[in-house]
Structure 1
C-alpha cells in the first residue's frame, strides 16, 4: 500500500483518504471466515464488501471509497500482484468496476434543517481551553493548539494547515504583512496566498524560529 501511495504522488489529504480506505478493506478481508488476501478477491467478494461496508456510507463517501479501491487494484494488476481474468483490460479497476451501491437518502426530520452558522464565543472558548487527555505529549498538545488557532483565523482546510512549509510563509507582495503561500491542493484553485491574521503572526514567527537550522523538509507543520 505504501509503495502505491508513494508512486501515485497524491495530495496529502488524498493520501490519508486512500490509506484509510485500503486499511478499512484490509480489516474487513482479514475478519472473514477464511481470511482473504488480494489474490483471492474476486467480483463476488468485492460485491460482499460493497454490501457489508460501502452501502452504509454517505453517497459522496461511497463514490470516493470505491474509486480508491479501483485505483489500488489497477496498480496491483500493473505490478503483477493480482491476475486479471481473461478479457479484462489492464486499466480497469476489476473487480470493483460496475459495482452498484445502495443509495441511502438522508431523512429530513422536522426542525433538523439547521443552516451553517459561526461558532459562538462560548464554543470557541471551550474548544481552545479544553484539557488534553492524560498522557498527551506537551509538544504535541502545543502543535494541536496552534493548528486550531490557525484554522479558526484563516479558514484554511486542515490538510493545508498541517502541510505548511517554512518557505510558504512569506511577506505579502505589498510588504505590509505575512501570507501563507499555499502551493498544493485538490484543484488549481487551492494554490493561493492566504493573508495571515494579525493574531497568528506570533505563532507563525515562533514556528519559523523553532525550525531554523533544520533541513528544508523540517516544515512548520502544526
Structure 2
C-alpha cells in the first residue's frame, strides 16, 4: 500500500481506542529492550496516525541501534580507532615496529571479541569449544581489516569532503544522512561498511532497497541521496581514494503522475479568496509578494530592507540558482514595501514577524512557521484539493508562483524573460540591478502586466471546524 494511504496500518496497532506505533526488537536485544517497542500517538484517527508514525518509527529504530551499539561497545568509535592505526602503520619504517603494531592489533581484536558467549560440544568426543558472539567476531574482523589497510570505513574521507564542498547546511545534512543510510543498510545486509565492499553490484542493491529505509522514502528523496553519494564517490575517485564512482549512472525511476494529480496553480477565484479572507497582515503581505513576483516563500520572508531599494527586490538564491536575483517591485506592492521599510535600518528584516528558528543548528528554513500558518489559513478559506489516498494538497504556497507564471504567459510575456524573473534556468537574459538597464525595464513592464483578480470586498466564509492561523 503506498505511503500516506489513510488505511495503512504498517507499524500501527489500536490500543484502548487510540493508535500507537509498535516495532519488533531483534532477538539479540530482547533481554535489554523486550520483544517490542511501542510509542502512543494519542489519536484515534488513522489518517492522523499515518502522518505522525514515521517520526515515531525513526525514534524507536534509533533506540534499537543505540542498544545494538552499546552491546557491541561503540562500533563507530572502534572503526575510527582502526583508521587511526592504519594511518600510523603507513609511517612504520622497520620490521620490529611492524611486528609490535601487529601484536597490538591482535590484542585489541581479542578485546573486541570479549568473553565467549557460549560453548558448543562435539557430539562425538564430548569436548567443549568456545563460541564467540558472532556480532563481536564480525566487528573484530572488520577492525583488523581496517587497521591493516585492507578496508576503509565509508565515512573515512567524508569530513574532508564536506569541508571542501562548502555546501549549505541542509545539503551537508543530506550528505551525512546518505552515508548513515548506506551504513545502516550494510549492517542489515551483514556487509562490511567499507569503501572496498561497495562494488557496483552492491551499489545497485542499495539503490533498490533505498525506498524501504526510514519508513519509506519517496523517489525524489531517493534520487537526492543517491546523488549525494555519487558526489562523494566522485570526490574520492578524483583524489584516488577509490578506483571509480560506483554510483554513476544509477537512476531512480520517477513515478508516472496522472496530470490530474499534479500540483497546480491557484485559480483566480482561489487567489481572490486568499487575498480577501481574514489573513493577518504579516501573512497577507507575504501572499501579495508571492503572487506578484513568483518568488519562493523562504526568499520572501528572508528579505531585508536593503533588499527592497531602487524599485526592485533582491531575492537570495534558492534551489540551483547560482546567485541573488533582482525582480522589479510591482506597482501594487510599492505601498506595502514603503510601509514595512519606514523607520527601519537597511539590515533590518522586512518581516520581523517571521523570525529565524531559535534553536541553534536548526535545519528548518526561516519560512517553516510561515508555511504552516499559510496552510492553516488556506484551508480555513476553503482553498484546498486533496485526492483520496494522498497526504499533500495539490495547492500550496508554490501555487502563487505557478499562478504568476501563468498570468505572465497569458499577457504574452516572452518565456526567457519570465524565466529571468522567477529564477528558472535560462540563457540570454540577465536583469540588471538598476532601472536604467534595458532588461530591467522590460521586466518592469512584464511584472506590471500581472494583475490580482478583482476583489469585490465580500467576506470570505471560513470553513467550520478549522483553526485560523496565528496572528
Shorter-normalised TM range: 0.5 to 0.7
Q: Is the 8 A contact 2:300 2:315 kept in 1?
A: no
What is the Cα deviation at residue 26 of structure 1? 4.5
What is the Cα deviation at residue 22 of structure 1? 2.9
Q: Equivalent residue for 1:42?
A: 198
In the superposition, relative to structure 1, how do residues 121 and 51 fare at CA in structure 2: closer, same or farther (>3 Å)? same
Show the 5 A alignment for 1:118-133.
118-122=266-270, 125-126=273-274
Structure whose alpha-carbon radius of gyration is higher:
2
Q: Equivalent residue for 1:51?
A: 208
Q: Quick one: distance in 1 between partners of 2:257 and 2:316?
A: 39
Q: Quick one: distance in 1 between partners of 2:262 and 2:258?
A: 11
Q: Quick one: distance in 2 between partners of 1:47 and 1:53?
A: 10
What is the Cα deviation at residue 160 of structure 1? 3.9
In the superposition, relative to structure 1, how do residues 66 and 124 fare at CA in structure 2: closer, same or farther (>3 Å)? farther
Q: Is the 8 A contact 2:290 2:296 kept in 1?
A: yes
Q: Is the 8 A contact 2:299 2:316 kept in 1?
A: no
In the superposition, relative to structure 1, how do residues 31 and 219 fare at CA in structure 2: closer, same or farther (>3 Å)? farther
Q: Equivalent residue for 2:253?
A: 103
Using the size of structure 2 for normalisation, the TM-score is: 0.29
Q: Is the 8 A contact 1:66 1:96 kept in 2?
A: yes
Q: Is the 8 A contact 1:56 1:104 kept in 2?
A: no
State the Cα RMSD in Å. 4.9
Q: Is the 8 A contact 2:185 2:206 kept in 1?
A: no
Q: Equivalent residue for 2:233?
A: 73
| Stretches of structure 2 lacking an aligned partner (at least 5 in a row) | 1-157, 212-216, 355-471
Q: SS at the partner of 1:181?
A: strand
Aligned residues, how many? 185
Deviation sequence 1:37-70 (CA, Å, 0-9, x none) = 9745713543233112369625xx7665533332
Q: Quick one: distance in 2 between partners of 1:211 and 1:22?
A: 39
Higher relative contact order (CA 8 A, sep 6+): 1
In the superposition, relative to structure 1, how do residues 2 and 127 fare at CA in structure 2: closer, same or farther (>3 Å)? farther
What is the Cα deviation at residue 122 of structure 1? 3.6
What is the Cα deviation at residue 150 of structure 1? 2.0
Are residues 1:149 and 2:288 paired?
Answer: yes
Using the size of structure 1 for normalisation, the TM-score is: 0.52
